[in-house]
Amino acid sequence: MRIVFRYKKTFAVASAVATGSVLVSGCVAVPEQTLIVKKELDKNRSISINNCDIEQAQFNSDKKRQGENELDANNITILNWNIYKGEKRNWAKDFRQLSNGKDLVIIQEARLTSEVKETLKKQSIHWTLNTGFYVNDEATGVLTGSRVKPVSSCGLRTTEPFLRLPKTVLVNEYDLSGTDERLLVANIHSINFTLGTKVYGKQIDELKAAINNHQGPVIVAGDFNSWSDGRKEIVDNMVADLSLKAVTYKSKNRITIFGNEIDHVFYRGLESVASEAKQVTSSDHNPIRVTFRVPPDERKVAQVN
């Protein structure tokens, strides 16, 4: 079957916001469908996905894979970072150091420039990216990389009311050793520029719906743009509704806006063993590193009669 991708094309000049940050510059194309780019080490593939339904694997069958295709349930290391499209000096050097040995890299504002793609390749990372838009034919969105291939991937998109550019969510599942359950990893870049919280809340509600029926461990991480009390309340309600816990940090290095942290890592069915927010100059966000494990008493294995 031949899949035709359609785009709403616009042309943008550099635009700035109150913080002085440049948002986009150049020719911008917005896909009309959720478009996930998947990169394994030997090939590149794109597929259009309309609905994020975790019960339907997008790239693999439901058959559990063994050994090298499983994450170690005793030690799951992650990096969560908004990389500012890889536009600041030394980002690649910092990324290589921060992502070295990590099982999962959860990235926001990933723009698939040749430098970004080459940096990911050198780290031997399988990755999937949910495209928000293209800038000069380079896909931009949330990207999740992993040491093993995901069992399934799906995406969500929500359009910024003023900028008219989508923010995206990517949901992947991974096999785990020593359990028949799978790890769900949700990567979110939340809506930023709105009056009120209606659209922001809608995006969070869609994320909740994508996670709600998952029976195994969960990691939800990203740039939540939770810079107001109203947004923070919506995130707090999501955490409560999904029975999540928030990773805690000894340092105060997470970026804040109006006194509120905007980057978060939440989890369920796991233990947080170690965590760190590291101060850097290679992005306008500071990276977060966390080590998890699945508690032995929560590992479910099917009984064989």
- Over residues 75-114, the pLDDT tens digits come to 999 999 999 988 898 999 999 999 999 999 999 999 999 8
Structural domain for 134, as ranges: 33-298
Q: Which residues pair with 189 in a beta bridge?
A: 223
Q: What is the mean pLDDT of residues 135-164?
A: 92
Q: What is the mean pLDDT of residues 180-192?
A: 96
Does 304 map to a domain?
no
Does 28 map to a domain?
no
Task: At 89, list the tokens.
Answer: 């000096």
Distance, in Å, from the CA atom of 115 to the CA atom of 292, rounded to the nearest integer, reads 30
Does 213 map to a domain?
yes
Does 231 map to a domain?
yes
Task: Report the predicted TM-score, pTM, of the whole model to 2 decimal places.
Answer: 0.88
Does 244 map to a domain?
yes
H or E element at residue 257: strand 256-257
What average pLDDT is seen over the chain? Answer: 85
Does the structure show a pLDDT above 50 at 191?
A: yes
CA distances from 259 to 21, 80, 228, 238, 256 (A): 19, 20, 9, 20, 5
Half-sphere exposure of 173 (CA within 13 A, CB side): 27
pLDDT bin (cut points 50, 70, 90) of residue 49 is: low
CA distances from 107 to 130, 220, 283, 285, 286 (A): 11, 12, 12, 11, 12
Does 18 map to a domain?
no
Does 69 map to a domain?
yes
- How deeply is 240 buried, as exposed, middle or buried, from its count of CB atoms within 10 A (0-12, 13-18, 19+)? exposed
The backbone region for 225, taken as left when phi is positive above 0, alpha when psi lies in -120 to 50, beta otherwise, is left
- Over residues 209-224, the pLDDT tens digits come to 999 999 999 999 999 9
Using an 8 Å Cβ cutoff, are 226 and 191 in contact?
no
Q: How many domains does the chain have?
A: 1
Beta strand 76-82 with 104-111 is parallel
Query: How high is the pLDDT of residue 65?
Result: 60
What percent of the chain has pLDDT above 90?
A: 63
Does 155 map to a domain?
yes
Half-sphere exposure of 203 (CA within 13 A, CB side): 29
Does the structure show a pLDDT above 60 at 16?
A: no
Does the structure show a pLDDT above 70 at 21?
A: no
Query: How high is the pLDDT of residue 43?
Result: 65
Q: Could you tell me the CATH number of the domain that includes residue 169?
A: 3.60.10.10
